DNA sequence: GCATTTTTTGACGCCCCGTCAATAATTGAC
DNA sequence: GTCAATTATTGACGGGGCGTCAAAAAATGC
């Protein structure tokens, strides 16, 4: 059943190779520059062979997006594991998001591309389903932390606001901040010089606002986030500098 | 100085005509389907003539984005005018955002397209500058409401959080929610059935969290938002037509 | 070793982009 | 009203990407 012939393995390997070739082209020169001819030429295969693996270039982008979201999912999983309080583990997920966006900017970029309706619309339902599962999976990790805290009494039930809606709020502010940071050229001119710090503060206020115990002062929160960051992603600062 | 020859007027008019032709193509069939040949054929002009107006199709998209953002700016302006408290006027801007996204989905869509680096990167610095000004202008409207409230004492200065950062938070959560609503297929499956209501609640909690007087209970807030909505946008369709 | 199946190939048809020399229209001087 | 100069329009063209498919090559199995 898990029998895989050599041939099949070779084919799977080549699918990977195609992605490895396509990714730098996509990320450094954009979607336009990613052409099937070029991918084929880079690998010394004929174009038709590439088409045996991906029916169009949009599918390549979606395949890369799936890899990106799997990475995100893995980071979320690691962050949500462990013995600490749900609130701390939730903060760790927040740090994971920062880490992801900052030190895997390519994956983050691909996720944005995937949201582009041109690409989404042309890709196969199968891959779309994988993406959806992955996204839902990430949300479920957060949601289960919320439910855990509710069950343990750290987090009071809030009238008018379901646990899922709390997740939605956290997600929206994190995601919204990151998108704006990445694509709003006017941010700096309006006086936002450190969007990451701003985002952290808003998340802290949101969590405190939910009444999620133990409440943190901003200074505590920022300090704890720094600790988590240093602990989980010791290489982060370095990478951060690399990417300026 | 404001002398405009008939010829110039005709040319300006045709630029508009091109946008009127391009918009439905773009919105109903996507960026792929928007080809210069097709635009030209639709208007019974030669392709070269279209190129006299726009050096490439990305510029057409950006020109449409400028129209969209001007509309957004106008809505913000109207919302921020009037004699009511700054907090109410801010809420009115929130309603304006909802209105914009809901009843001008095409404009909202074009704004997203514009953020796509493929399009942004290929367009002219002039149009990019207009977009930036427009975006900064929208933010300034919000920022000045914040500053007004600070000056009047309705809104306490918050340690660690500048007025601009408050704007950033509001912007991020509103924008983030809307993007997610528009492009996250898993929202429904995770249990978010009324994202607009959720977003309103989060905004209310954010404003209350800032200590922005007078504080609203969720019920009050939702009620007030409904009132504003009914007052400013009594007839959804009519306003939509105005800007066609 | 040979027939059958699978895989690879790359030329092909189609379409789009953006250009530009040729053509048409407009202008303004006389 | 005429005509030369200026300006605007045209559409054929070169370059290139997409996706296909019949033919060639390779692998398989008997």
Domain ranges of chain A: 1-54, 58-242
Residue A241 has pLDDT above 70, yes or no: no
Q: Does A18 touch chain B (CB under 8 A)?
A: no
Nearest to A177 among B116, B172, B187 (CB): B172
User: Cα dihedral angle (A208, B153, B157, A200), rounded to 10 degrees?
Assistant: 40
Nearest to A201 among B161, B183, B191 (CB): B161
Q: Measuring CA to CA, how many Å separate A153 from each of A142, A145, A211, A213?
A: 17, 12, 10, 9
What positions of strand C are covered by protein, i.e. any atom < 7 Å from a CB? Answer: 6-11, 15-21, 26-27
- Across the interface, whether the CB atoms of A192 and B136 are under 8 A apart is answered no
Nearest protein residue by Cα to C1' of nucleotide D17: A35
Distance CA A209, CA A134 (A): 29
With a cut of 50, which residues of chain B have pLDDT below it? Answer: 1-2, 237-241, 243-244
Distance CA A135, CA A122 (A): 19
Residue A242 has pLDDT above 60, yes or no: no
What is the predicted pLDDT for the residue at A1? Answer: 36
Q: Which residue is listed with tokens 């601009």? A: B164
Closest CA to B71 of B35, B21, B110: B110
What is the predicted pLDDT for the residue at A75? Answer: 97
CATH architecture of the domain with range A58-242: Orthogonal Bundle (1.10)
**Degrees, nearest 5: CA angle B138-B143-B147:** 155
| Lookup: tokens for B3 | 């002398």
Q: Does A179 touch chain B (CB under 8 A)?
A: yes
What is the predicted pLDDT for the residue at A236? Answer: 66
B188 interaction partners in chain A (CB closer than 8 Å): none
Residue A30 has pLDDT above 60, yes or no: yes
Distance CA A36, CA A168 (A): 38
Q: Work out the pLDDT band at A58, boundaries 50, 70, 90.
A: very high
What proportion of chain A, given as a percentage, has pLDDT over 70? 94
List, in order, residues 6 or more apart from A26 with CB less than 8 Å away. Answer: A33, A34, A60, A61, A64, A110, A113
Q: Measuring CA to CA, how many Å separate B218 from each of B198, B204, B206, B225?
A: 11, 7, 11, 10
Segment A23-47 shows an average pLDDT of 94
Quote the radius of gyration of chain B (alpha carbons, Å).
20
What is the predicted pLDDT for the residue at A183? Answer: 85
The answer to whether the B1-54 and B64-242 domains have the same CATH topology is no
Q: Looking at the domain that runs over B64-242, which CATH code has it been given?
A: 1.10.357
What is the predicted pLDDT for the residue at B185? Answer: 72
Q: Work out the pLDDT band at A169, boundaries 50, 70, 90.
A: very high
Segment A191-216 shows an average pLDDT of 93
Contact, A39 vs A50, CB < 8 A? yes
| Lookup: tokens for A208 | 């405190």
Fold topology of B1-54: Arc Repressor Mutant, subunit A (1.10.10)
Residue B54's region, left for phi above 0, alpha for psi from -120 to 50, else beta, is beta
Q: Work out the pLDDT band at A237, boundaries 50, 70, 90.
A: low
Segment A152-180 shows an average pLDDT of 94
What is the predicted pLDDT for the residue at B5? Answer: 67
Q: Does A167 touch chain B (CB under 8 A)?
A: yes
| Omega cis (within 30) before B218 | no
Distance in angstroms, CA of B5 to C1' of C26?
13
Average pLDDT over chain A, rounded to an integer: 91
What proportion of chain A, given as a percentage, has pLDDT over 90? 77
The size of chain A, in residues, is 244
Closest CA to A32 of B115, B118, B54, B37: B118
Residue A196 has pLDDT above 80, yes or no: yes
């Amino acid at each position: 059943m898990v029998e895989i012939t050599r041939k099949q393995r070779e084919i799977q390997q080549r699918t990977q190779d195609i992605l490895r070739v396509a990714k730098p082209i996509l990320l450094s020169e954009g979607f336009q520059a990613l052409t099937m001819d070029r991918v084929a030429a880079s690998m010394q295969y004929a174009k038709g062979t590439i088409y045996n693996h991906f029916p169009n270039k949009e599918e390549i982008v979606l395949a890369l997006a799936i890899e990106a979201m799997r990475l995100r999912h893995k980071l979320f999983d690691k962050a949500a594991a462990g013995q600490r309080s749900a609130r701390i583990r939730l903060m760790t997920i927040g740090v994971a998001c920062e880490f992801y966006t900052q030190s895997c900017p390519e994956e983050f970029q691909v996720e944005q591309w995937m949201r582009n309706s041109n690409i989404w619309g042309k890709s196969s339902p199968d891959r779309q389903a994988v993406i959806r599962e992955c996204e839902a999976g990430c949300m479920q990790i957060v949601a289960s932390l919320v439910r855990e805290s509710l069950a343990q009494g750290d987090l009071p039930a809030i009238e008018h606001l379901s646990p899922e809606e709390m997740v939605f709020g956290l997600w929206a502010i994190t995601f919204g901040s990151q998108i704006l940071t990445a694509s709003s050229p006017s941010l700096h001119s309006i006086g936002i010089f450190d969007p990451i710090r701003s985002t952290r503060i808003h998340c802290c206020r949101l969590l405190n606002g939910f009444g999620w115990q133990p409440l943190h002062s901003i200074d505590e929160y920022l300090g704890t986030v720094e600790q988590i960051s240093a602990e989980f992603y010791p290489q982060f600062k370095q990478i951060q500098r690399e990417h300026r």
